[in-house]
């Protein structure tokens, strides 16, 4: 029985894959540097790489897992000297601020004493002669990362899934309650007040700059967001990329969170903006097929909270109040569209050939429709349509434009948008039938 449990553990633990071509890491140079920092690493590491590619590159360095005859130890682990994670920016990064290793390292060091889920950082290198870029090293948290689907051998029932979901949201609430004001490195993270306005104007500009001819302008969405910017609910530490695949679960109890990863976008900001951005990734079981295909966390499972339930739970635990949740939800979707569009822009302009980015433009059409539906619900459909209908041609979402999209995408968008969007189309079809 014990052997079966060990095999099960090995199956569910998050592991790296082969290093991607063109993203090789000089293990010998890293090892020499680590020893110079006083870390007791022996021999050369076995290097693997974690999934990703659109953000910072993440490697696993396993030291001293070989026997004297160079054969692997049983389970690759009994005599491990060090099991480390190395993070570095992608090659060719022009803006250091987008992949700031010093900032990411500093955030985790500063949070280490006040937030229990931060991995232990070990060393920061700003000497680019070592591997050609800044990097830092931290201890590896051995656990489960819940990606689009949980490991097949991890059979959790709906009660356990609900507990997992609750614990992940509780970890976010706990982060938002950290008292940062007594730590200079945390105080220096952001500008604080005015965060909502800066985010809306910033993502507005970034989306316009990255727009391609085959994607919607989001003009009406951007205008609505700019006209409904709320005052900050409060200022706190926010993660800014909160997803299930950025948390590590206890392999002995997969409902428990033992770590939170990827702190590159952490800053001082509005916690409701952090929640809205997190829910943009929250795909439910009955969401449309295109969003299901884009899903990257297991929020579709029976037992998971719905987006509305998450908001209700978060507000009840945090004590925060709000007047217009639609703003935060629409912003989260628009921000996600901006992130996707920036990546797709690189693919469209042949700056990358990664096939994973090929259909990102389709996702943005659906995100656009979702934003418009939420706005219509908030404003009242009749009032919204009387305002929007005369400008549909300018907004790139009129019936004629939708007819130019692939049929499956048309069907999804029509299932999302208010039916009044297609009233003119229906009337015209009826008229043509009568004639």
Q: What is the pLDDT of residues 54-92, one digit of tens each?
A: 578 999 999 976 555 555 554 455 456 799 999 998 876
Q: Answer whether residue 42 shows pLDDT above 50.
A: yes
Q: How far is CA 292 from the centre of its chain?
A: 15
Using the structure block, give the residue that is written with the tokens 């229906």: 426
- State the pLDDT at residue 384: 66
Element (H, E) at 248: strand 247-250
- State the pLDDT at residue 95: 45
Using the structure block, give the residue that is written with the tokens 């609900």: 162
Strands (E), 89-153: 121-125, 135-139
- State the pLDDT at residue 66: 56
- In whole numbers, what is the pLDDT of the chain averaged over residues? 86
Tell me the CB-side half-sphere exposure of residue 296, using CA atoms within 13 A.
16
Report pLDDT digits (tens) over 308-334: 999 999 999 999 999 899 999 999 999
Report pLDDT digits (tens) over 220-243: 899 999 999 999 999 999 999 999
User: 21 with 57: CB under 8 angstroms?
Assistant: no
Which residues are 136's β-sheet partners?
87, 124
Q: Answer whether residue 195 shows pLDDT above 90.
A: yes
Give the span between the Cα atoms of 367 and 233, in whole angstroms: 25
- State the pLDDT at residue 52: 57
Of the given ranges (106-120, 121-135, 309-323, 376-390), which has the lowest mean pLDDT?
Answer: 376-390
- State the pLDDT at residue 28: 96
- State the pLDDT at residue 188: 92
- Using N-to-C axis directions, what is the helix angle for 360-379 and 219-227, rounded to 10°? 40
Residue percentage of the chain with pLDDT more than 90: 64
Write a three-state SS string for 365-382: HHHHHHHHHHHHHHHCHH
- State the pLDDT at residue 69: 54
Give the span between the Cα atoms of 318 and 275, in whole angstroms: 12
**What residues have CB less than 8 Å from 313, skipping those under 6 apart?**
166, 169, 305
Q: Answer whether residue 138 shows pLDDT above 90.
A: yes
Give the span between the Cα atoms of 89 and 91, in whole angstroms: 6
Nearest in space to 142 (alpha carbons), one of 24, 9, 47: 9
**What residues have CB less than 8 Å from 173, skipping those under 6 apart?**
314, 317, 318
Report pLDDT digits (tens) over 273-322: 999 999 999 999 999 999 999 999 999 999 999 999 999 999 999 999 99
Give the span between the Cα atoms of 333 and 331, in whole angstroms: 5
């Amino acid at each position: 029985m014990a052997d079966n449990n060990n095999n099960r553990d090995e199956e569910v633990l998050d592991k790296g894959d082969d290093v991607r071509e063109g993203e090789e890491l000089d293990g010998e140079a890293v090892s020499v540097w680590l020893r110079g920092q006083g870390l007791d690493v022996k021999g050369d590491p076995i290097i693997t790489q974690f999934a990703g590619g659109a953000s910072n590159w993440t490697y696993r360095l396993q030291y001293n897992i070989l026997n004297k005859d160079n054969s692997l130890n049983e389970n690759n682990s009994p005599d491990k000297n060090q099991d480390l994670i190395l993070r570095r920016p992608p090659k060719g990064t022009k803006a250091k601020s987008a992949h700031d290793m010093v900032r990411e390292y500093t955030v985790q060091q500063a949070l280490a004493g006040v937030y229990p889920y931060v991995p232990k950082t070990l060393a920061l290198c700003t000497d680019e002669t070592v591997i050609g870029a800044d990097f830092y090293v931290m201890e590896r948290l051995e656990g489960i990362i819940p990606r689009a689907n949980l490991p097949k051998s991890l059979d959790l029932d709906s009660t356990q899934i609900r507990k997992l979901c609750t614990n992940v949201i509780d970890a976010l609430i706990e982060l938002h309650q950290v008292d940062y004001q007594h730590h200079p490195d945390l105080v220096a993270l952001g500008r604080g007040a005015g965060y909502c306005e800066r985010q809306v104007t910033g993502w507005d500009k970034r989306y316009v700059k990255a727009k391609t001819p085959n994607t919607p302008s989001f003009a009406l969405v951007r205008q609505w967001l700019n006209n409904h910017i709320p005052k900050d609910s409060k200022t706190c530490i926010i993660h800014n990329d909160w997803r299930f695949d950025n948390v590590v679960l206890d392999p002995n109890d997969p409902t428990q969170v033992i770590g939170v990863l990827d702190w590159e976008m952490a800053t001082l900001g509005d916690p409701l903006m952090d929640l809205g951005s997190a829910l943009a990734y929250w795909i439910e079981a009955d969401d449309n097929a295109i969003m299901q295909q884009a899903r990257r966390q297991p929020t579709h499972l029976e037992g998971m909270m719905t987006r509305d339930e998450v908001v209700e739970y978060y507000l009840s635990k945090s004590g925060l109040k709000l007047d217009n949740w639609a703003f935060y939800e629409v912003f989260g979707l628009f921000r996600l569209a901006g992130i996707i569009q920036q990546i797709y822009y690189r693919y469209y302009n042949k700056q990358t050939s990664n096939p994973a980015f090929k259909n990102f433009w389709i996702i943005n059409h659906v995100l656009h429709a979702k934003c418009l539906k939420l706005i219509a619900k908030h404003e009242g459909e009749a009032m919204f349509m009387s305002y929007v209908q005369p400008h549909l041609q300018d907004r790139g979402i009129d019936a004629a434009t939708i007819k130019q999209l692939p049929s499956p995408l048309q069907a999804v968008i029509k299932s999302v948008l208010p039916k009044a969007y297609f009233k003119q189309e229906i009337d015209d079809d009826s008229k043509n039938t009568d004639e």
